[in-house]
Amino acid sequence: MKITKICCIGAGYVGGPTMAVIAQKCPHIQVTVVDLNEQRITDWNDPDIDNIPIYEPGLSEIVAEARGRNLFFSTEVEKAIDEAQVIFISVNTPTKTYGKGKGMAADLKYIELCARQIAKVAKQNKIVVEKSTLPVRTAEAIKSILDNTGNGVQFQILSNPEFLAEGTAVTDLLNPDRILIGGDTTSEGEEAIKALVDVYANWVDKEKILTTNVWSSELSKLTANAFLAQRISSINAMSELCEKTGADVNEVARAIGMDSRIGPKFLKASVGFGGSCFQKDILNLVYIAKSYGLNEVADYWEQVIIMNDHQKKRFSSKIVQTLYNTVADKKITFLGWAFKKDTNDTRESAAIYVADDLINEQAKIAVYDPKVSGNKIQSDLNYLETRSIEENKDRVVTFDNAYEACKDAHAIAVLTEWDEFATYDWQRIYDSMHKPAFLFDGRNILDAEKLESIGFIYNGIGS
């Protein structure tokens, strides 16, 4: 089968960038990204390419090249489903907030809605691709819905999980470590797998395109995120021990990272991991293990989350303790709100939870982030529902300029590792602050010796 038309349901952080790159690299394929969120689609179609809803280095240039040629963004979901040979499902799969599995299991209601809509609309055979991160054996449920509620057409279900790191998503898409495609071992399943392999082979070496059964593909995504998060929690656990013993966690990380069996990646001590995937996927893994009675396996992976939560709490507690055990009505400036640099995504950002702790201590929070709006920051805090909207507005003020945000602050907390922070005139910032001037480097990106020579009382993670 030669693919000429692709539809992606979901114009978010996965669907938008992935489809943009496919469209750029496959000009012979029409790619339509659909979403029921009209504002999101309007933003993707904004004539000012810098206003597209997702910030990723290099993404706006790719969208500008392909949009209107063979890349389209639309709210006409049923039309796109009807015309496409391949339908990617790339909708949100949040952790359940209700019922069985609350707080751990993935909420698959949006996946089921997509499957039912595809079944209702499709009049010809389709390949349906799971792009969202899903628990193992979800494909089985999707296939059951499609086969039993459809119009008699044949569906092949493939699992094609994304392995994107926000902030480097475009690079990850253009030069992936691997592309993973899982499908049935039947002749029809293998034909569907080959069709998707041929799409990616337009720019990815076929040796990097792995094919497996559906279940292995689904579980591989959860496992990859669990292993990466585990490394972060492991080095953060050591950071606390380093602080007590006089060791330097950066030196420890460098020493163990030179071991070829370990390697240096994901060994940066920090205030903790955030983002939409790590916590959600590990909790999902914990739930799956518990559902099969594997309690020891579940306990092992749950500890990764416990350590991450502890690190965020430890950071906010350290700020309070260092500022003479009170931050009431003191101005604490946050540099960074996004969960990592080079993205405007704030989901599960450590900044949200550190701010929440400090507001509970009656602190005044000033925030500067180069890509996150003030409205988004307020929305993140309001979502926690720990206090009134009015109190959040009273306690948190956002700035468009880091120097203004830092003026008259009692302390600065670096919550995102934006490169620009290391280039600031820190003498100017120090001169504008209350003395003593404290700096809490939650991402270990600043030059401690330089800051201390200026006069800052520097507090890094694990140092």
Three-state secondary structure string covering 143-161: HHHHHHHCCCCCEEEEECC
Q: For the segment 252-272, what is each residue's pLDDT rounded down to a tens digit?
A: 999 999 999 999 999 999 999
Q: For the segment 268-312, what is each residue's pLDDT rounded down to a tens digit?
A: 999 999 998 899 999 999 999 999 999 999 999 999 999 999 999
Could you confirm whether 277 is annotated as catalytic? yes
Q: For the segment 396-417, what is each residue's pLDDT rounded down to a tens digit?
A: 999 999 999 999 999 999 999 9
Helix (H) or strand (E) segment spanning residue 129: strand 126-130
User: Scanning the structure block, which residue is given the tokens 């009656």?
Assistant: 362
Q: Using alpha carbons only, what angle is made at residue 439 by residues 433 and 440, rounded to the nearest 5 degrees?
A: 145
Give the Cα separation of 391 and 80 in Å (integer).
44
| Helix pair angle (214-245, 295-322), 10° resolution | 40
Is residue 41 within 8 Å of residue 74, measured between CB atoms? yes
Q: Using alpha carbons only, what angle is made at residue 136 by residues 135 and 138, rounded to the nearest 5 degrees?
A: 75
User: Scanning the structure block, which residue is given the tokens 């349906």?
Assistant: 128
| Helix pair angle (109-121, 138-149), 10° resolution | 30
Give the Cα separation of 264 and 261 in Å (integer).
10
Give the Cα separation of 332 and 313 in Å (integer).
16
Q: What is the pLDDT of residue 463?
A: 85
Q: Choose the catalytic residue: 26, 114, 242, 277.
A: 277
Measuring CA to CA, which residue among 129, 134, 137 is closest to residue 158?
A: 129
Q: What is the pTM of this model?
A: 0.91
Q: What is the pLDDT of residue 135?
A: 67
Q: 129 to each of 175, 212, 264, how far by Cα in Å?
A: 21, 14, 34
Look up residue 354 and give its amino acid. V
Q: For the segment 168-186, what is each residue's pLDDT rounded down to a tens digit?
A: 999 999 999 999 999 998 9
Sequence-distant (≥ 6) Cβ neighbours of residue 201 within 8 angstroms: 209
Q: For the segment 105-114, what is each residue's pLDDT rounded down to a tens digit?
A: 888 888 899 9
Q: List phi, psi (to 5°) of 143.
A: -65, -40
Measuring CA to CA, which residue among 32, 28, 9, 10 is closest to residue 20?
A: 32
- Residue 112, token pair as written in the block: 């089921």
Helix (H) or strand (E) segment spanning residue 189: helix 187-200
Sequence-distant (≥ 6) Cβ neighbours of residue 179 within 8 angstroms: 160, 200, 204, 208, 209, 210
